[in-house]
Amino acid sequence: MSETEKIRVRFAPSPTGHLHIGGARTALFNWLLARGRGGKFVLRIEDTDRSRSTEEYIESIIEGMRWLGLDWDEGPYRQTDRFDTYKKHIDRLIAEGKAYHCYCTPEELEARRKEALAKGASLKYDGRCKDLKEPVPDRPASVRFKMPQAGNIVVEDMIKGNIVFENSQLDDLIIARSDGTPTYNFVVVVDDVDMDITHVIRGDDHLNNTPKQIHICRALGHDVPKFGHLPMILGSDKARLSKRHGATSVTAYRDEGYLPAALVNYLVRLGWSHGDQELFTRDELIKLFSFENVGKSAAIFNPEKLLWLNAEYIKSTPPDELSELVMPFLIEDGTVTEGSKPGRAYLSRAIATLVERARTLVELSEKLRFYLIDDANIEYQEKTMKKFLNEKTRPYLEDIHAGLASVEAFTHDNLEEIFKSVMEKHDVKLGKVAQPVRVAMTGGTESPGIFEVLDVLGKEKTLNRLQKAINTTTKE
């Protein structure tokens, strides 16, 4: 078996919240490592914290992964389905003298912690139960891992380099609570051992857990996986990333009209680079990604950069594909219904005139509205109507209507010729004629080029809207 075939990486979120930017980036880096090395990507749900883990969060995490296109080869495994496995490993460590029962109550531990804090002493567990020969009657026992105390341990980090921890600073951590439930630092190691995980990529907020987990891994007689700890993502004020910086859940970005490819591209660039290149296809990311180019310092989340990137992806996405992506937003805002969807060809032509102006699918949906609503439902703002649909502009609208009604081929050249003739007749520039027509077509003063708009709307819709505008004009 080749080295690449041995690669097994995992993304193991805790379902105590939705899939957010940090977790999505971690998932993506693991996924790219697996796909780039011909390995396996394992999805595992770390749901042992029953007080905070919810089915809603689990579903949201899986939904976010699927939307981003981060397909997994195995899983999703759930730790709550593996309690029997964890107990077998705990019993084995106790039998081998690598773990022991602890009868100290939470109240006793807290009292000792406060006493040590007052004296400026170490807050470590003092090990008083380590050498007990007999159980303490009528007291539930937790289980502690017997941590080596001599020497040091080196974490060989794929991103940060070698990091040394003194074993004397490591606590005999609890691996099973007094109610029998296993703890995080133990179960993640058992899972990695049982699932043959070769690489563990996660945020550097887990770095202090790594030496403990390495010792447990060795106690279980397993090879230690390679570790990589990603620097944190910070807001523009260098504080830990939060909603106030514009960061939110992956599914919320979907609902705000971001494209998954754009978010994937942005997440990869939060801490990784390939020269000055900004835009990557997914195949390029798989081919080019490596941990040699992952930065060692924290990344700064920039919502404006993400918005710019999304706009670039909208521009480069074929209109036919965008027509499918934008449809749920058109239905949600009531522009169309399930039973009255526009033809795909018409919608694609309309989208082609707007891609340079829309940064999200929500914006695209809003800008498409005038193309899709019934002609009779065009609404004019009062100020706009008074300024552009009045006695002065009525002759322009009537002459444009008459010219377009008589033309057989509704082509760009013919449209332009009719507008020129009206401009010459009234001795005005294009804007004087185009703007009232634009208001008649869209209800507003901003749109793509007037000839583009008319070309998409077609003859019938154009004449209907011109007539409505003419009827709206009133004498002052």
Q: What is the pLDDT of residue 56?
A: 93
- The whole-number pLDDT of residue 244 equals 81
> Which among 88, 114, 130, 243 is annotated as catalytic?
243
Structure tokens, 388: 């552009």
Nearest to 372 by CA among 414, 398, 333: 333
Coil/strand/helix, residue 178: coil
Specify the pLDDT at position 447: 93
The amino acid that residue 326 corresponds to is V
Of 38, 182, 174, give the one whose Cα is nearest residue 103: 174
SS3 call for 163? strand
Per residue in 296-351, pLDDT (tens digit) is: 999 999 999 999 999 999 999 999 999 999 999 999 999 998 888 899 999 999 99
User: In angstroms, what is the C-alpha Rg of the chain?
Assistant: 32
Return the exposure string of 270-286: e unless at least 16 CB atoms fall within 10 Å of the residue's CB, then b.
Answer: bbbebeeeeebeeeebb
What is the three-state SS of 4-56?
HHHCEEEECCCCCCCCEHHHHHHHHHHHHHHHHCCCEEEEEECCCCCCCCCHH
Could you read off the pLDDT of 6-18 as tens digits, one per residue? 899 999 999 989 9
**What pLDDT score was predicted for residue 1?**
36
Average pLDDT, the chain: 94
Q: Which of 232, 277, 297 is nearest to 21 (CA)?
A: 232
Query: Which domains, and CATH codes, for the chain?
Result: 4-74+233-303 (3.40.50.620), 82-230 (3.40.50.620), 317-373 (1.10.8), 377-472 (1.10.10.350)
Which residue is listed with tokens 């900004």?
Answer: 278
Q: Are 61 and 12 in contact (CB under 8 A)?
A: no
Confidence of residue 476 (pLDDT cuts 50, 70, 90): very low
pLDDT for position 324: 96
pLDDT of residue 5: 52
How many percent of the chain have pLDDT more than 90?
A: 88
Give the pLDDT confidence of 119-154 residue by residue, as tens digits: 888 888 999 999 898 999 999 999 999 999 999 999
**Does the active-site annotation cover 243?**
yes
- Sign of the dihedral defined by the CA atoms of residues 292, 293, 298, 299, in that order: negative
